[in-house]
Structure 1
């Protein structure tokens, strides 16, 4: 996987940020945060981000599943320092959307994560207008002309 574009490593490119604590149990035999823990830390931030969009925690909500999740490891993570995870929408499709995230620790980008979520209820016919508006309000601040803005 090629190194991410510089804007993907910049916390200011993302509309949402969250501090997530690391755990001693996240460490591998070498004393670094293991790959599975990286994915779990990103998952925590991603789920909280989705809930803020308003459709997942309502009675009229819909179901969506993760269709793809890719983590790009850039540097080692450590315990006990917290990580800061910035999250934003990379792309909105007809029935799916991409969530992009970057993880920083001690002021350095240590990983990125790209996740595609897909609606599972065919009755919806596509992303509902209110949810599409919520997603649009959380688009990443990518440079003009970048494919992430399409």
Structure 2
């Protein structure tokens, strides 16, 4: 677990709820998108992206979500969702999620979200700010921090 936390300096702890399990006795696939959302909002809050939305009307929206289930998770468990970045482009970036089960001491799920900056006043995409690009580069998966 310590290695996981070092690998993902941006992470969120999530307690699995009994009600998230389904008839097959494991956490339902829908719950993972809530876990991703919780980690994403924590990530956005660390960089004041949602606060900026209130002042500039420019903020992040999700254009695509993906999940890959590697191992079933059951109650009780505490998950750690690690977040990393790749594919930083002019108006978007790819946010990756790696879900680690404390009960299993293993990665159980991988996911991603395409995050697009959006101007809610104009209804159009907006470029990432230079400050945001520099912040994102610090958490780039490939370590290069290169903007595509």
- Alignment TM-score, normalising by the size of structure 1: 0.80
2:137 corresponds to: 136
Following superposition, the deviation at residue 64 of structure 1 comes to: 2.1
Over 2 Å off, 4+ runs: 10-15, 58-61, 122-125
| Corresponding residue to 2:88 among 79, 89, 92 | 92
SS at match of 1:131: helix
2:46 corresponds to: 52
After TM superposition, the structure 1 stretch with the greater mean CA deviation from structure 2, 106-115 or 11-20, is 11-20
Q: Given that residues 118 and 126 in structure 2 are in contact (C-alpha distance below 8 angstroms), is that contact kept between their aligned partners in structure 1?
A: no
Superposed CA RMSD: 2.3
Following superposition, the deviation at residue 111 of structure 1 comes to: 0.4
Following superposition, the deviation at residue 14 of structure 1 comes to: 2.7
1:43 corresponds to: 37
SS at match of 1:115: strand
| Alignment deviations for residues 62-104 of structure 1 (CA, whole Å, 9 cap, x no partner) | 2221111000100001111110111011221110011011001
Count, aligned residues: 137
By relative contact order (CA 8 Å, sep 6+), the higher-ranking structure is 1
- Alignment TM-score, normalising by the size of structure 2: 0.81
Q: Given that residues 89 and 147 in structure 2 are in contact (C-alpha distance below 8 angstroms), is that contact kept between their aligned partners in structure 1?
A: no
Give ranges in structure 2 of 5+ residues lacking alignment: none
Partners of 1:61 and 1:112 lie apart in 2 by: 31
The reply to whether residue 74 of structure 1 matches residue 70 of structure 2 is yes
Following superposition, the deviation at residue 149 of structure 1 comes to: 8.4
Q: 1:149 to 1:55 in 2, by over 3 A?
A: closer
2:108 corresponds to: 110
